[in-house]
A and B are shown apart, each in its own frame.
Chain A
């Protein structure tokens, strides 16, 4: 069976949905970051697939930059997580409610 663009897009969407589930469900901040990584990766797949099927390199370029940004985001995010852990002793999401309205 011919694998077309739609297959990759459906795959990407499924992965994105899984990532959304993780973002909404996880209470541990670290595991939340994992789910964010899943989101980014699914989008990368979509970019690469579209790039391949339309013969355009723009998608791959974008995927590069997404990877770069994801990496730096992890660095900064983990740094912040460490500071928070030092202050509060845990990284439970429910304690992160100082922005209560």
Chain B
């Protein structure tokens, strides 16, 4: 019973938060609503017994990704209201509804749901984290390593894309050169 209450509560919360995130005209509200939604989704993971996944959700999504978005928001003018083009909202809503209905139909069909077999079954007795560790580092090792490489690449890409004046290295220059650059900059501004 508790499970049912928890499910419906968090479901309601998640849906409303995400709804706000897509419909509000204030960017800041959207960001906040998104972050809240992430947290509530982690609640689902906990309900489902995927403790490790829930923890990861909070740390990575609500922590890192949201922080990234917050930093990104600093670059852009967030006080300005977002102008939405007057597109036909019926098309938008209609398409989404139809897509949703179809997906539900497909998943609910007995053809799909009767044919799912477990490949990596849960081992009773161990905690979720241990199970995850056991599967991740044995059967999913290669995807894990590849994901690590991909994260490295993404990091470098982020730095390169967003960096300024990356050909100069302040740590390798001595004080005289740094002062020279500073006076040049100020000179330009003054004249």
Check if B50 sits within 8 Å of A60, measured CB to CB.
Answer: yes
Mask for B50-66, Cβ within 8 A of A = 1, else 0?
10110011001100110
Instruction: Give Cα A13–Cα B116 distance, bound, in whole angstroms.
Output: 19
With A14-B15, A49-B48, A75-B68 known as contacts, the answer to whether A60 contacts B53 (CB < 8 A) is yes
Contacts of A55 in B (CB 8 A): 118, 121-122
Q: How extensive is the interface on chain A, given as a class? A: 35 or more
Interface residues of B, count at CB 8 A: 82
Per DSSP, chain B at the interface is helix
Closest A residue by C-beta to B143: A65
Give residues in A with beta carbon < 8 Å to B.
1-3, 5-11, 13-22, 24-28, 30-31, 33-35, 37-38, 41, 44-45, 48-52, 54-58, 60-61, 63-65, 67-76, 78-83, 85, 91-92, 94
Chain A to chain B contacts (Cβ below 8 Å), 6 pairs: A1-B4, A13-B103, A18-B15, A34-B34, A56-B121, A68-B147
